[in-house]
Amino acid sequence: MMPAPQDEEMTRKLLEALKTCYDPEIPFNIVDLGLIYGLDVDKYGNVKIRMTVTSPGCPVGPWLIDEVKNACLSVPGVKRVDVDLVFEPLWTPRRMSEEAHRILGI
């Protein structure tokens, strides 16, 4: 049985949960920083996230992955979360939301 296309409401809830995760080096949430490269969820509650950190040598990568998993697991209906930490494409401040640019003055 193939999973159904991802549910838009669940995706919205997951993104809101991910906005509670902050990069400790740049005090802003990881969604608006542009660190989330992909988010997929199936009808079984399995979540797959592709994300990056602000630099390949970032020492908080493992900690941030745990934060992301815990935030997603706090959303009702989520059963499993897999996170792929990727470095292609490399993160740049251009990936940040307009709000993050404005608030951080970048």
Write the pLDDT tens digit of every residue in 24-82: 888 899 999 999 999 999 989 999 999 999 988 888 889 999 999 999 999 999 999 99
Does residue 84 surpass a pLDDT of 60?
yes
Residues whose CB falls within 8 Å of the CB of residue 30, separated by 6 or more in sequence, listed in order: 18, 19, 21, 22, 23, 36, 51, 64, 68
pLDDT at 56: 84
Give me the pLDDT at residue 87, please.
Answer: 93
Residue 1, pLDDT score: 38
Q: Is the pTM of this model over 0.85?
A: yes
For residue 3, pLDDT beyond 80: no
Confidence of residue 20 (pLDDT cuts 50, 70, 90): very high
For 8-104, give the CATH class: alpha beta
